[in-house]
Structure 1
Amino acid sequence: MICKDRVVIVTGAGRGLGRAHALEFARQGAKVVVNDLGVSRSGEGGSTGPAQEVVEEIRALGGEAVAETSDIATDEGARHLVATAVETFGRLDVLVNNAGFLRDRMLVNLSEEEWDAVMRVHLKGHFLPLKHAGLHWRAESKAGRPVDARVINTSSGAGLLGSVGQGNYSAAKAGIVGLTLVASAELGRYGVTANAIAPAARTRMTEEVFAATMAAPEAGAFDAMAPENVSPLVVWLGSAESREVTGRVFEVEGGKICVMEGFRHGPVADRGARWDAAEIGPEVSRLLGLAAEPEPVYGA
């Protein structure tokens, strides 16, 4: 019960990772706002069914939850999401940004609409709930009410290392890492931490990849790709125990948790004056020889 009585928003919580997060938060004592538009894998259509079904699962466990079906990639939808948590449960302690979908194409085949759609849901759909949760927590802090809040964003290995056929998704997920770092720096003064996860799990978004490349686990064997494996880390990051952890990215898969180490200053050359273009090649070659080799792009 490490999140007992904490109030948690999980976006994209009707299926897959979001559903697993919402259920695990409930098992650990949290009150959960289950946000989901109920759209298809490609972001089309909509239904209140998935969110309400998860709410019923949580209530069957003896927990408290409410369904919320706003489009969190709109300012009004994100505002309503945060207001629902505060009005229903009296507070907000944790925001888990998880909603997303795929429209995969090789770069030369990727349409502007497919680019914009993925950016809107993944990147804008992280920014706007974060903005309105941040406004709430800032107001609470300035009013003298203690804040011990958490943001857990959802990036991807595609955002950290790139993924062939996923230029739009990779760019959006890389943007989420940058947004997380800024949120950590800006919201810390109000009692808020911000971290990101890069999960690997079998969900609607990834089932085709896993079906083509991995055999199903044998009966009774540990299913390393089950989305439920990711949720314990997310729940711990949402707990009071994690208050010293912020601005970090964790890769999580099966039973493995890895602290990702992103861009940092490596070998440097400074001549104290402007370089001549003809001199750059040998110096760059020397610096690259001193630098760590980049990890390969997924699918390359």
Structure 2
Amino acid sequence: MPLNPTGICAGRVAVVTGAGRGLGRAHALALAAEGARVVVNDLGVGRGGEGGSADPARHVADEITALGGEAVAHHGDIATDEGAASLVATALDTYGRLDALVNNAGFLRDRMLVNLGEDEWDAVVRVHLKGHFLPLRHAAAHWRAETKSGRRPQARVVNTTSGAGLLGSVGQANYAAAKAGIVALTLVAAAELARYGVQANAVAPAARTRMTEGVFAESMAAPPTGFDAMAPANVSPLVVWLASPASAGVTGRVFEAEGGRITVMEGWRVGPTADKGALWSPGEAGEMVRALLANASPPGPVYGAG
């Protein structure tokens, strides 16, 4: 990938979590290609969170430097306060600044709800939701301090949600709940951090990665020639733009990205409403609910249902 030192992220420093493989790696390379210096974070665990290795993060950082860019590897657990603090400190100690945080790290432990163990719930919610919150909190503290010192940043946060979090997904109660939580976290961050020059958005990607290969094996196979709609690199241009100053004014939004398609997702809005101005009886409430539902938009189908 050719590097553009005058690209839309020139002079910026970006942190990408879970950047050792798949989408995170594609984001890190694309950010570097647009001139960013990149902190490549990855714990190097397996698809289900097992094991760990510093190699994936180091290999991606080496890829970027071999192309003429600047990158440093960070092998730390961003779902711990110490690891998240170290991640932000690595950017500041190495490059003297932090402009963009791309939260991407995660893994799966899929199981039907009645078979889902507490440990499987905790592990997935921890890496996805807590693993978004802690780096965001430490980055936000830095940006707040910068603003109070008179150096208002043009900071960007790009969180990673999922169609599972927006619509639900059979067999993924833990993952879907965590990804839905990330959307709410993004909306709160956009509202609370705007005063510090921070914009926060979320992207729901669809691409061929270790996390999806078992679910969409046939449809996600790479074509022998032509446009590979499921390549992770297709999602990265949107992430790079959201991480750049060019995205000024875009915050508190959720996007789906797949192949050559970008969609603005529109979440919960006030729908049909009735106000009796007094206490409903259960029967009255039920009758009115059915009348309201008749005029409401139907929910999107849950992934894997029916």
TM-score normalised by structure 2 residue count: 0.97
Shift of 1:218: 3.1
Shift of 1:280: 1.1
Q: Could you tell me which residue of structure 1 aligns to residue 27 of structure 2?
A: 21
- 1:83 maps to a residue whose letter is A
Q: Could you tell me which residue of structure 1 aligns to residue 164 of structure 2?
A: 158
Q: Deviations over 1:192-224 (max 9, x none)?
A: 00000000000011111121x416343222111
- 2:105 maps to a residue whose letter is A
**Alpha-carbon distance between aligned partners in 2 of 1:38 and 1:295, rounded to the nearest angstrom:** 35
Aligned length: 299
**Alpha-carbon distance between aligned partners in 2 of 1:39 and 1:243, rounded to the nearest angstrom:** 35
Secondary structure of the residue aligned to 2:191 is helix
Residue 69 (structure 1) aligned with residue 63 (structure 2):
no
Q: Could you tell me which residue of structure 2 aligns to residue 111 of structure 1?
A: 117
**Alpha-carbon distance between aligned partners in 1 of 2:225 and 2:12, rounded to the nearest angstrom:** 34
Residue 134 (structure 1) aligned with residue 145 (structure 2):
no
1:188-227 aligned within 5 A: 188-211=194-217, 213-214=218-219, 216-227=221-232
Q: 1:256 aligns with which of 248, 251, 261?
A: 261
TM-score normalised by structure 1 residue count: 0.98
Point out 4+ residue stretches in structure 1 off by more than 3 angstroms. Answer: none
**Alpha-carbon distance between aligned partners in 2 of 1:209 and 1:94, rounded to the nearest angstrom:** 31
Tell me if the contact between 2:241 and 2:247 (Cα under 8 Å) persists in the aligned partners. yes
**Alpha-carbon distance between aligned partners in 1 of 2:96 and 2:151, rounded to the nearest angstrom:** 13
Distance 1:242 1:295, change over 3 A: same
1:41-120 aligned within 5 A: 41-120=47-126
RMSD: 0.8
Structure 1 residues without counterparts, runs of 5 or longer: none
Structure 2 residues without counterparts, runs of 5 or longer: 1-6
**Alpha-carbon distance between aligned partners in 2 of 1:83 and 1:216, rounded to the nearest angstrom:** 39
**Alpha-carbon distance between aligned partners in 2 of 1:224 and 1:85, rounded to the nearest angstrom:** 33
Secondary structure of the residue aligned to 2:63 is helix
Shift of 1:146: 2.2
Q: Deviations over 1:80-118 (max 9, x none)?
A: 100110110000000000000000000001000000000
Identity %: 72
Tell me if the contact between 2:186 and 2:202 (Cα under 8 Å) persists in the aligned partners. yes
Secondary structure of the residue aligned to 1:150 is strand
**Alpha-carbon distance between aligned partners in 2 of 1:15 and 1:217, rounded to the nearest angstrom:** 17
Distance 1:112 1:215, change over 3 A: closer
**Alpha-carbon distance between aligned partners in 1 of 2:264 and 2:24, rounded to the nearest angstrom:** 21
**Alpha-carbon distance between aligned partners in 2 of 1:228 and 1:207, rounded to the nearest angstrom:** 16
Secondary structure of the residue aligned to 1:209 is coil
Secondary structure of the residue aligned to 2:256 is strand
Secondary structure of the residue aligned to 1:221 is coil
Q: 1:238 aligns with which of 243, 246, 251?
A: 243
Secondary structure of the residue aligned to 1:33 is strand
**Alpha-carbon distance between aligned partners in 2 of 1:278 and 1:18, rounded to the nearest angstrom:** 52
**Alpha-carbon distance between aligned partners in 2 of 1:218 and 1:106, rounded to the nearest angstrom:** 32
- 1:25 maps to a residue whose letter is L
- 2:203 maps to a residue whose letter is I
